[in-house]
């Protein structure tokens, strides 16, 4: 019965929904069925040759998987769940997607229109619940509305600064018959404004006059597909460039003007040089507190040019001398075309000198430790090297996240999927599922801690059912590591409830039919990584790492970025 519906044909709301998804180019849906969404799932059965449905093991996992898919594919992630707990289980994922500007459309089933407001079985006001963590939401009560509302949902999700939207559809709207009349999406708020030519000229003048400038780039570059534009600007201007956590891989790690990651656990050079800069060119980043430290001391001696698509971010944390509101794919080339080539090699050499200090004090001990215990940094660097620095890195949240993001290297854009703004433990495993489906031709390596893995460990069953060749590197230190590090450094080693008793991960992996290997000694690591790389399916490599290892550099909370600790 898989047949395209003609415009104007009378059909059910459920079939109209699936047809609209197909017209939006949807190829994968992540979800979990239930009573209030059964009519849509029944319709989806007839389209199973044209759209793939991924059955997660928890609705939070479904949303994180949709996020991973969106992040690597540049498409809108789509998730579908039932009402009540099915809908409320998605809130963490929606909040994560909102914080990290991930385009997502969540379709939720709802009780029948006549039952709304009666506390019917599995009725919740999901629009009210999710309003603070979504760009837009709408409840559909008539089948005729479905094509128009869904088209708008995709437009809002991907437009301007991307983010999640919710479309809540009553059961009677799913079943009602109505003419299928697809409509182009109406204008929606959030589309990128045109840059102000006067501000462009002002920015060019600041760049011309700067002697010690630095580019700070974030995920806005990736979301705008402006990686080439960024490289062209950096190369013509000669300005050293540093990435936020979510900006990683927008420039290759090997680029001669790339100077590392900013922020709390970033690289020494871009943090310490912040106080010496006379100009900060912020491109597609929002001055998150993990980047700025004490905002009153951030860029204290610098003028600021801020290229940002969301006007709400301008002057929110750091005042911009010249705001350039617009899509960086449009605004960056305007600057590149107008500036003159400049030789700033002496300034760039200062970054390299500072980088040598970090190499000696922090990096070398992390990736070539002298002690007997296996360390997270050496595992991350070894895995990256084994994949020739060309795998997609997916991480959970915590110490392993920072070690992996620091010591992986990147050749191509969209090579890092991690939870930034919300810091969601449990994000990693389902996000890796989505990433592999979004980029099936690339290797996907997940780094996850023993705490984070157990938050969404049920998604191993999804990996097994789909036979996805996701490579999972489990950093097992028996602690909630990042919290333990703070307890060690700031709470007199009072390890309050951060030691974690773990299951036998070998048994869990094998119960799912997933290949497994454990390493405890350094000399075992190369062979284990080779086996993981060689095996065709999913693989769980458990690394028993040092229990009380700390991740450095580190900027203490509330301190200035130049107060960075190397060890």
Q: If you ran DSSP here, which 8-state letter would residue 115 be given?
A: G
Tell me the longest C-alpha to C-alpha distance in the chain. 72
Task: Tell me the mean pLDDT in the region 345-361.
Answer: 96
* Per-residue pLDDT at 5: 83
Which of these CATH numbers, 3.40.50.970, 3.40.50.11540, 3.30.450.270, 3.40.30.10, describes 10-179? Answer: 3.40.50.970
Band (124; pLDDT cuts 50, 70, 90):
very high
Name the residue ranges covered by the structural domains of the chain.
10-179, 197-352, 374-544
Please say if the pLDDT value at position 382 is more than 50: yes
Alpha-carbon distances, residue 369 vs 89, 376, 381 (angstroms): 42, 10, 12
- In degrees, rounded to 5, the angle at the alpha carbon of residue 148 between the alpha carbons of residues 145 and 150 is 100
Q: Where are the beta strands (DSSP E) in 312-367?
A: 322-325
Q: 140 is written with which tokens?
A: 């559909």
Among candidate residues 122, 125, 123, 110, the one with its CA nearest the CA of residue 171: 110
d(CA 508, CA 357): 43
- For 292-320, b/e burial (b = at least 16 CB within 10 A) is bbbeeebbeebbbbbbbbbeebbeeebeb
Question: What values do phi and psi take at 420, rounded to 5?
Answer: -95, -70
* Per-residue pLDDT at 185: 65
Please say if the pLDDT value at position 322 is more than 90: yes
> Is there a cis peptide before residue 553, judged by omega within 30 degrees of 0?
yes
Among candidate residues 478, 506, 483, 508, the one with its CA nearest the CA of residue 493: 483
Task: Tell me the mean pLDDT in the region 165-191.
Answer: 84
Alpha-carbon distances, residue 146 vs 31, 32, 138, 506, 528 (angstroms): 19, 20, 10, 47, 51
Residues 78 and 40: beta-carbon distance below 8 Å: no
Which of these CATH numbers, 3.40.50.1220, 3.90.660.20, 3.40.50.300, 3.30.230.10, describes 197-352? Answer: 3.40.50.1220
Map residue 501 onto helix, strand or coil.
Answer: coil
* Per-residue pLDDT at 196: 87
Please say if the pLDDT value at position 187 is more than 70: no
Please say if the pLDDT value at position 188 is more than 80: no
Percent pLDDT > 70 in the chain is 98
Among candidate residues 304, 358, 296, 354, the one with its CA nearest the CA of residue 560: 296
d(CA 78, CA 167): 11
Residues 294 and 192: beta-carbon distance below 8 Å: no
Alpha-carbon distances, residue 524 vs 43, 112, 518, 520, 546 (angstroms): 51, 59, 9, 7, 15
Please say if the pLDDT value at position 256 is more than 50: yes
The overall average pLDDT reported for the chain is 96
* Per-residue pLDDT at 144: 96
Please say if the pLDDT value at position 190 is more than 60: no
Band (1; pLDDT cuts 50, 70, 90):
very low
d(CA 418, CA 529): 22
* Per-residue pLDDT at 2: 53
* Per-residue pLDDT at 3: 64
Element (H, E) at 281: strand 279-283
Task: Tell me the mean pLDDT in the region 480-508.
Answer: 97
d(CA 186, CA 522): 59
Q: 216 is written with which tokens?
A: 């700070």
Q: If you ran DSSP here, which 8-state letter would residue 562 be given?
A: G
pLDDT (tens digit per residue) in 414-455: 999 999 999 999 999 999 999 999 999 999 999 999 999 999
Q: In three state form, how does the secondary structure of 51-92 look?
A: CEEEECCCHHHHHHHHHHHHHHHCCCEEEEECCCHHHHCCHH
CATH architecture classification, 374-544: 3-Layer(aba) Sandwich (3.40)
d(CA 425, CA 266): 20
d(CA 244, CA 289): 11
């Amino acid at each position: 019965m898989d047949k395209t519906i003609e415009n104007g044909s009378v059909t059910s709301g459920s079939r109209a929904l699936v047809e609209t998804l197909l017209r939006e180019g949807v190829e994968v849906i992540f979800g979990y069925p239930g009573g209030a969404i059964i009519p849509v799932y029944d319709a989806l059965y007839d389209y199973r040759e044209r759209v793939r449905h991924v059955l997660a093991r928890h609705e939070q996992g479904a949303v994180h998987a949709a996020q991973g898919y969106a992040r690597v594919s540049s498409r809108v992630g789509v998730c579908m769940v039932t009402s009540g707990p099915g809908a409320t289980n998605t809130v963490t994922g929606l909040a994560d997607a909102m914080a990290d500007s991930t385009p997502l459309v969540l379709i939720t089933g709802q009780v029948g229109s006549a039952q709304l407001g009666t506390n019917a079985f599995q009725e919740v006001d999901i629009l009210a619940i999710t309003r603070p963590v979504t760009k837009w939401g709408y409840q559909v009560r008539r089948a005729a509305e479905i094509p128009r509302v869904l088209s708008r949902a995709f437009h809002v999700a991907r437009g301007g600064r991307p983010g999640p939207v919710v479309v809540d559809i009553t059961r009677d709207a799913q079943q009602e018959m109505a003419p299928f009349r697809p409509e182009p999406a109406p204008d929606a708020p959030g589309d990128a404004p045109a840059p102000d030519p006067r501000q462009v000229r002002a920015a060019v003048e600041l760049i011309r006059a700067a002697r010690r400038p630095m580019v700070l780039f974030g995920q806005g570059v990736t979301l705008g597909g402006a990686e080439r534009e960024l490289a062209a600007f950096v190369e013509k201007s000669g300005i050293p460039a540093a990435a936020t956590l979510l900006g990683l891989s927008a420039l290759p790690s090997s680029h001669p003007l790339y100077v590392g990651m900013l922020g709390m656990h970033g690289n020494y050079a871009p943090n310490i040089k912040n106080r010496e800069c006379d100009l900060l060119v912020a491109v597609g980043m929002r001055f998150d507190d993990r980047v700025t430290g004490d905002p009153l001391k951030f860029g204290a001696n610098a003028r600021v040019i801020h290229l940002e698509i969301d006007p709400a971010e301008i002057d929110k944390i750091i005042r911009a001398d010249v705001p350039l509101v617009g899509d960086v794919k449009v605004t960056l080339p305007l600057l590149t075309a107008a500036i003159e080539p400049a030789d700033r090699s002496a300034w760039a050499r200062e970054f390299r000198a500072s980088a040598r200090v970090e190499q000696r004090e922090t990096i070398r001990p992390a990736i070539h430790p002298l002690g007997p215990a296996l360390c997270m940094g050496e595992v991350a660097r070894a895995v990256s090297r084994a994949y020739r620095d060309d795998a997609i890195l997916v991480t959970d949240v915590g110490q392993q996240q920072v070690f992996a993001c620091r010591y992986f290297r990147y050749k191509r854009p969209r090579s890092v999927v991690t939870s930034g703004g919300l810091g969601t433990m449990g994000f990693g495993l389902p996000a890796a599922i989505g990433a592999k489906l979004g980029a099936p031709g690339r290797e996907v390596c997940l780094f996850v801690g023993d705490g984070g893995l157990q938050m969404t460990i049920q998604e191993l069953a999804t990996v097994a059912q789909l036979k996805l060749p996701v490579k999972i590197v489990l950093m097992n230190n028996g602690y909630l590591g990042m919290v333990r590090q703070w307890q060690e450094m700031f709470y007199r080693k009072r390890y309050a409830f951060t030691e974690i008793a773990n299951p036998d991960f070998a048994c869990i992996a094998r119960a799912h039919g997933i290949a497994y290997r454990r390493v405890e000694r350094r000399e075992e690591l190369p062979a284990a990584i080779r086996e993981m790389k060689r095996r065709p399916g999913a693989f769980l490599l458990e690394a028993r790492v040092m229990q009380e290892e700390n991740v450095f550099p580190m900027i203490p909370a509330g301190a200035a970025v130049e107060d960075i600790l190397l060890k």
